[in-house]
Copies of this chain bind each other. A is one copy, B any other.
Amino acid sequence: MDPLRRLEELFAHFPGIGPRQAKRFVYYILSKSPSFARELTQLVEEVRAASNECQRCHRFFMFKNGVSAAICSICADKSRDQASLMVVARDSDFESIEKSGAYRGLYFILGGTVPILDKEPERRIRLFQLTERVAAENTTLKEIILSLNTTPDGENTADIVKEALNGSVEKITVLGRGLSTGAELEYVDSDTIRNALQNRH
């Protein structure tokens, strides 16, 4: 296949990119100096080579100072609360939580969510690795926080994880439900109002 079309195709698989924008990406690269393409390919290779999936939390991380490592900086940080483990679906969810600065414990990335009625959740998410890790750390772990989207898939995933971890840890919690910041009651759905009323304080 024509490498130009193939590159367009590749870009069209990037998250949120359609065929038209993929084409514009290719022209963008062609219109820049050759050094731009060189830097781009170099960075992609560098990032690929200098990063790893953390063996403990399964998120992707960059090596510090180019020194290869099996464990990411958060998993290796003894000052973080070792008694608390937050389970999230994806790296982007982890980023969102870290950015809030509200959490100081450890993480586990499931690698996805389980659609409702899916028969083989262990092929969608790292259920086996999670139960193994929780079993190994059950003397230090006090709480597992399930931080999943409040969408049907997210709630289904939370149910599956809860069941798989049942009895293996003191406390399993989920994020609080209610009004988000900036919410206008007139436009808030009934389900959220119900949760917000229940969780009033």
Contacts and interface: CB of A to CB of B under 8 A. Distances in A.
A23 to B, nearest CB: 7
From DSSP, what is the main secondary structure of chain A's interface residues? helix
A79 interface: no
B178 A200 contact: no
Nearest to A199: B176
B29 A48 contact: yes
B27 A91 contact: yes
B43 A7 contact: yes
Interface string A29-70: 111001001011101111110110000000010100000000
A179 B177 contact: yes
A139 interface: no
A185 interface: yes
B176 A92 contact: no
A157 to B, nearest CB: 12
A182 interface: yes
A90 B93 CA distance: 35
A136 interface: no
Of A45, A48, A50, A175, most buried by chain B (CB within 10 Å of CB) is: A175
Contact of A102 (B3, B40, B194): B194
Contacts of A186: 90, 92-93, 95-96
Interface of A: 2-4, 6-7, 10, 14-16, 21, 23-31, 34, 37, 39-41, 43-48, 50-51, 60, 62, 88-93, 95-97, 99-103, 145, 147-151, 154, 173-201
